[in-house]
Structure 1
Amino acid sequence: MDVEITDSVGAQIVEGGLAHTPRLVLAGPFVTVGAYADQQEKEAELASTFGSAQWLWSEDDDLRFEVNDRELQSLCLYLPQDAATPDSVAQSWEHVRRIRGTLSTATNANFSAPQTTSYWVAPDATHLVCLRGSAAPADAGSLRLTVAPDLDLLFTQGKMVGWLLVDPARYLTASWEMPAPEAPAESTRSLLQRTLAMTMSSEVEAIEDGDEDAWRRLRDLSQTLHNEVEDRQRIDVLQSVIDRFIEWHAS
Structure 2
Amino acid sequence: MTTKLKFDGGWSATVTDEPLDLVPRLLGTSLIVSPYADRVEREKFLAETFGSQDLLWDLPDVFRFAPSDRQLVGAEFRIPEESASAEDSARLPVQPEVRPGGLRADEVKDFRHEMCTVLCRAPGDALLTCLRDLDVLDEPLEAGIGIAPDVALLVQHGTVVGWSLTDPARYLTTSFATPDPAPPVPATRRLLTECLDLVTTPVVDDLVDGEPAVLARLQAADRALREQREDRHRADALLELIATYVEDYGNR
Normalising by the residue count of structure 1, what TM-score does the alignment of the two structures yield?
A: 0.91
Q: What is the total number of aligned residue pairs between the two structures?
A: 248
In the superposition, relative to structure 1, how do residues 45 and 93 fare at CA in structure 2: closer, same or farther (>3 Å)?
farther
Structure 1 or 2: larger strand share?
1
> Which residue matches 2:8?
6
> Which residue matches 1:77?
77
**Residue identity in the other structure for 1:130:** C
> Which residue matches 2:65?
65
In structure 2, distance between residues paired with 1:141 and 1:210: 39
> Which residue matches 2:25?
23
Q: Does 1:198 align with 2:231?
A: no
**Residue identity in the other structure for 2:186:** E
Q: How is 1:51-130 mapped onto 2 (pairs within 5 angstroms)? A: 51-81=51-81, 83-87=82-86, 90=89, 92-93=92-93, 95-130=95-130
Percent of matched pairs sharing the same residue: 31
State the 1:121 CA deviation: 2.5
Q: After superposition, what is the alpha-carbon deviation per residue over 1:143-187, rounded to whole angstroms, capped at 9, x for unaligned?
A: 110000110011011110011001000000112111001111122
In structure 1, distance between residues paired with 2:33 and 2:141: 27
State the 1:87 CA deviation: 4.1
State the 1:210 CA deviation: 1.6
Q: Does 1:174 align with 2:174?
A: yes
State the 1:53 CA deviation: 0.3
The answer for unaligned runs of 5 or more in structure 1 is none
Instruction: Say what the alpha-carbon RMSD is for the aligned residues.
Output: 1.9
> Which residue matches 2:211?
211
State the 1:50 CA deviation: 0.6
Q: Does 1:245 align with 2:206?
A: no
In structure 2, distance between residues paired with 1:140 and 1:228: 41
Q: How is 1:136-175 mapped onto 2 (pairs within 5 angstroms)? A: 136-137=136-137, 139-140=139-140, 142-175=142-175
In structure 2, distance between residues paired with 1:248 and 1:141: 40
State the 1:30 CA deviation: 0.6
The answer for unaligned runs of 5 or more in structure 2 is none
State the 1:37 CA deviation: 0.6
